[in-house]
A and B are shown apart, each in its own frame.
Chain A
Amino acid sequence: MKNNKAQFKIQQMAFMILAVFLFFILIGLGFLSFQTKSLQGNYQQLQMDQAISSLQVLTDMPELSCGYLCLDEDKLRVMSRKSEQYAQFWPVASIKVYKVYPAFDSLIKCPTANCNYFEIYDSNQQNTQEYSTYISLCKRVKEQDNIYDKCEIGKLVVGVKIKQTE
């Protein structure tokens, strides 16, 4: 009778320890998944930052550039007319430039009057991911006798082909 009772007590103790152990394992798992999630978020952010930094390579190209993070509107006008001739030249799937400020109501493709959107190149590829960054969009203007560079705020949007992982 006494032996049985002791066995029961040991069993009870074992179950209790097991329950506490499982409880802490559950807490640990929750904490781990939380940490992994924030690590993944940081990884994605770093990748995004890297992609945006690589956009600066495009803004530095003499065919488009007028300085640091500056695109020459006159050059863009020319290049948007020659997208087929330069198809092999661009290291990306698509290049578009939008004016952001002053704001506009509808997209008007350049080169036309009061346009706000340049399509420099589009390979029409599927499976592309678009990255964008802010740039200044400058052009030389003449007002009465005054000639100066007028800069607006724009956005460079570049499509990059997504690499298929095997």
Chain B
Amino acid sequence: MENKQNKRAQQEMIGFVLIVVIVTIAAVVFLVISLRNKPAEQQNVEVENMLTAMFTYTTECAISNDDYDDLEDLLKSCYDNKKCENNGKMACDYLEGLLKEIMPDLIKTESQINYYELQAFHRTLEGANSRNIIKTLVNENMKCSGKIMSAQKNIAVDSGSLIVRLSFCYGD
């Protein structure tokens, strides 16, 4: 009689432990999935305004007759593989150097941003990404753990469009 009671108690304990184990596994799986999900990228007005302001910046690269390119024209000149006549530099080299200078200065004014990524590439009329205009610029050794805010601008060229995409990570 006592043996039977012991067995029943053991069965109940096993049942309880099973429930706890199942619930714990479910919670762990849920946590892992939610932590693994990359933070969703959101379109942001502030980043879009930053891109707009950057595009109108007057550079010191004149392709012809002291007519200085703004950043948007410089991107087109880079795509067309042109040269800055006033300083002898290739438009692409000058553009890359300039962006490397501009980005950290812009980031300095935003205390919440800890990571950025700037891409510029050509997209054909058929919608295929054909080539990068500049190497993707990122501040190295940084990882995004917060919210990603981004904006994109398209510049029309005869063979499609040049796409510039800027993303920021607003850290917690």
Name A's B-contacting residues (CB within 8 A). 16, 20, 23, 27, 41, 45, 48-49, 52-53, 68-70, 98, 100-103, 133-136, 138, 143-144, 146, 148-155
Contacts and interface: CB of A to CB of B under 8 A. Distances in A.
B129 to A, nearest CB: 27
Given A151-B57, A151-B58, A69 B49 contact: yes
A60 B23 CA distance: 58
Contacts of A144: 66
18 contacts: A49-B45, A49-B46, A52-B46, A68-B52, A69-B49, A101-B57, A101-B101, A101-B105, A103-B108, A136-B52, A136-B53, A146-B66, A148-B67, A148-B68, A150-B68, A151-B58, A152-B57, A154-B53
B70 interface: yes
B19 interface: yes
Interface of B: 16, 19, 23, 27, 42, 44-46, 49-50, 52-54, 56-58, 66-68, 70, 101-102, 105-106, 108-109, 147
A102 B105 CA distance: 8
Q: Sorted from nearest, which 8 A-B pairs have the closest CB atoms?
A: A134-B53, A136-B56, A134-B50, A103-B105, A146-B66, A136-B53, A134-B49, A150-B58
A100 B45 contact: no
Given A69-B52, A135-B53, A146-B66, A153 B106 contact: yes
A155 B109 contact: yes
Main secondary structure of the interface of B (DSSP, over half): helix
A27 B23 CA distance: 11
A21 B56 CA distance: 61
A48 B27 CA distance: 35
Main secondary structure of the interface of A (DSSP, over half): strand
B56 A151 contact: yes
Contact of B58 (A23, A49, A100, A149): A149
A23 B46 CA distance: 43
A144 B68 CA distance: 14
A52 B45 contact: yes
Nearest to A138: B56
Interface centre among A23, A101, A151, by most B CB within 10 Å?
A101
Contact of A52 (B23, B49, B70): B49
A4 to B, nearest CB: 14
A150 B136 CA distance: 27
Given A49-B44, A134-B46, A153 B58 contact: no
A144 B42 CA distance: 46
A139 to B, nearest CB: 10
A146 B50 CA distance: 28
A101 B106 contact: yes
Nearest to A59: B49
